[in-house]
């Protein structure tokens, strides 16, 4: 699925197999076909994603909003 990371000064896009995020409501693992939703991410927490080659990457997010559709994810960062 396509994952877009959008910040105040730059944006990037990549294809991933799954994404794990921590929100104010709890932890979510998002796979292709997930129900659409918009969630506020917990501050200063890591997100984990599996890239198409099978490798896993961690990234610390200061804060942001995640939009989930059935075939894509858009993470809008509030800080970079």
What pLDDT score does 38 carry? Answer: 96
Give the integer Cα–Cα distance in Å for 72 and 16: 9
Can you give the pTM of this predicted structure?
A: 0.91
| Assigned superfamily of 2-77 | F0F1 ATP synthase delta/epsilon subunit, N-terminal (2.60.15.10)
**Per-residue pLDDT at 13 exceeds 90:** yes
What residue spans define the domains of the chain? 2-77
**Per-residue pLDDT at 80 exceeds 80:** no
The first and second tokens of residue 78, run together, are 């509030």
Q: Given the DSSP bridges, would you call strands 2-6 and 72-77 parallel, antiparallel or unpaired?
A: parallel
- H or E element, residue 28: strand 27-30
What pLDDT score does 25 carry? Answer: 86
Contact 75, 5 (CB under 8 A): yes
Give the integer Cα–Cα distance in Å for 80 and 72: 21
The tens digit of pLDDT for each residue in 28-75 reads: 999 999 999 999 999 999 999 999 999 999 999 999 999 999 999 999
Query: Residue 26 — left, alpha, or beta (φ > 0 → left; ψ -120 to 50 → alpha)?
Result: left
């Amino acid at each position: 699925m396509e994952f877009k990371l959008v910040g105040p000064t730059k944006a990037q896009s990549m294809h991933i197999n799954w994404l794990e995020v921590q929100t104010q409501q709890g932890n979510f693992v998002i796979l292709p076909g997930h129900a659409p939703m918009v969630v506020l991410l917990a501050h200063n927490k890591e997100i984990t994603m599996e890239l198409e080659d099978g490798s896993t990457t961690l990234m610390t997010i200061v804060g942001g909003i995640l939009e989930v559709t059935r075939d894509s994810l858009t993470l809008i960062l509030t800080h970079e």
